[in-house]
Structure 1
Amino acid sequence: MDKENLEVLKERLKYAGFGEELNKELEKQMKQGKKEFRLGHSVTIEDKQVDFKLNFRKSDKMDRYFFNSFDAELHKPNGSKMSNTFYQNQHISAKEAFNLLEWRPVYKALFNKGGERYNAWIQLDLAEKNEKGQHPMLQYHDRYGFDLEKSLKTLPIVEMEGMDQKDRLLYSLKKGNLHEVNIAGMEGSFLVAANPQYKTISVYDETGKRLNLKDLRQEIKENLEQGMGKKQAPPKQEKGKTIKV
């Protein structure tokens, strides 16, 4: 067994969000010298179970293994399941795979066939499957015209007022997360997610119910005119975290 190969694969797993829990089983499988093998891994994310199967294959020309892909299966609270295979050249992490299966987009640096790098939002088409049983991956390039920061500024989101909190919010949404925010003129907190397909953001209440942006903006306007919920700095405890729904 190539020890350097083992260490490289351990780093790949860690970088992909699988931690170090699989390291012992990875080493065991590599020592057996199989042509290919799979490692199982189950986690709970946002109170939902996700089962992963990580696929490894040995090179035909050398004594080295490659982590080629992983299968992710999301178990919904209603008993339904969503699954897809993600390949290493897509550089998608375990949490990003979960977000994609939740139909939330992720912003990635990608490469075309000529090796040129470009940025795009990717999102699974969960309504369709190709001949391999996989959901097609939709892409919304920068030139498509979606501006996340501009879209967020269409609402008086308190977290957009501070540089650090704004950066955390933008980073989180680009990872495909739901993110908790406070909105001036409104009581309580809300959840936001990027929606590049329609060049806007999606807003949810604390129960996960999606809100109509037009109605929300009107309510904010009326509340602010009445002097309710004026803009305030967020409380000192950490806000703007990714929320469980």
Structure 2
Amino acid sequence: MNENNLEYLKKTLDGLGFGAKLNEVLENAIRREMPSFSLGITTLQKPLENPDRNAAKTEHLSFKFNFNRSKDSDMYFLNNYNVALHQKGNPIVREQTFDLERDYRVTALQAYKLLSGLSFEKEVYLRSRMEEGRAPDRPQEKTPLWFKLSLDVTDAYGNHPLRTFRPEYGFDLVETLGKYPLKGLDTPEKLKETITTLQNGNYYHGEMVIGKKTVPVAIASNPQIKKLNVYDKNMIEIRDEVIFPEKDRTKAADNKQSSAQDRATSQAAQPEQPWIQEPERETSNKRGR
């Protein structure tokens, strides 16, 4: 058995957030020199939207790790792992297989957040080793990427497409936060705390002015549409038209004006239609002399 290889695999599992729970069964499988094998682990988590640290753990997660032995040596590789999320009250089981290299080593907690519909930011080394304008001997720099799963669709392999958004995509979390009437972000420390919370793929629980009332809300980042998802205390979404009614009225007025202008332009540009006859004029019958 390749001891160095075993230690590397143990460190990989630990780095993904699984600790040493699988070390014994991993070592036993490698000692048996199996060409391929899978190991599993299950855990319970409290719902991510619940801020109470003592809340009941009702989210059931199961992980399966797929190992393969090299054809040319005694080394084993962990290529990917599958995770399934069973949520209380939700009959649909959400599943995803994460490829370690392709998906930038998404951890267990990050996988849970993605399957729960959340997004997070993570600094990674892009797979392209050569960047335009970078000298070959210059160390590659990490790039911050936002990650999000498209949970409403699955691909040919049964996976939800994993979307990543680079800085040039244009999602600016600080700028986006400034657009919403959140309360309590008036100090640099509180703003930084909120930004870190959202970047890590967590809900931020605070207060927002909606109409003339201050209401408790939970917010999460949505980099794909460059906005925040806002929920009330019952985790029912509060849509932007409720938060920004004046913007919605302005948009409706603009649409109405645009439609009126389009109709006027269409009528002005309408060509004559020779097949439409003028209405007959009413004439009076006069008796001839």
- Tell me the TM-score range normalised by the shorter chain: 0.7 to 0.9
Post-superposition shift, 1:154? 2.1
**Residues 76-225 of structure 1: pairs in structure 2 closer than 5 A:** 76=87, 77-89=89-101, 90-108=104-122, 109-114=124-129, 116=131, 118-158=143-183, 160-183=185-208, 189-216=216-243
Question: Are 1:159 and 1:169, in contact at CA under 8 Å, matched by a contact in 2?
Answer: no
**In the superposition, relative to structure 1, how do residues 98 and 61 fare at CA in structure 2: closer, same or farther (>3 Å)?**
same
Identity %: 28
Secondary structure of the residue aligned to 1:37 is: strand
Corresponding pairs, count: 219
Gaps of 5+ in 2: 48-57, 132-141, 246-289
Cα shift at 1:143 = 1.1
Q: Which has the larger radius of gyration?
A: 2
Match of 1:242 in 2: none
- Contact 1:140-1:196 within 8 A present in 2 as well: yes
Flag the 1:162–1:80 CA change in 2: closer, same or farther, 3 A. Answer: same
Partner letter of residue 172 of structure 1?
T
Letter of the 2:150 counterpart? D
Seen in structure 2, the aligned counterparts of structure 1 residues 55 and 160 have a Cα distance that, compared at 3 Å, is: farther
Report if the CA contact (8 A) 1:74-1:81 is conserved. Answer: yes
Q: CA deviation at 1:38?
A: 1.1
Q: Which moved more, 1:160-169 or 1:118-127?
A: 160-169
The CA deviation at 1:43 is: 1.4
TM-score (norm 2): 0.67
Q: TM-score, normalised by structure 1?
A: 0.78
Q: Which has the higher contact order (CA 8 A, sep 6+)?
A: 1
The answer as to whether partners of 1:110 and 1:120 remain within 8 angstroms in 2 is no
Deviation for aligned residue 1:8: 1.9
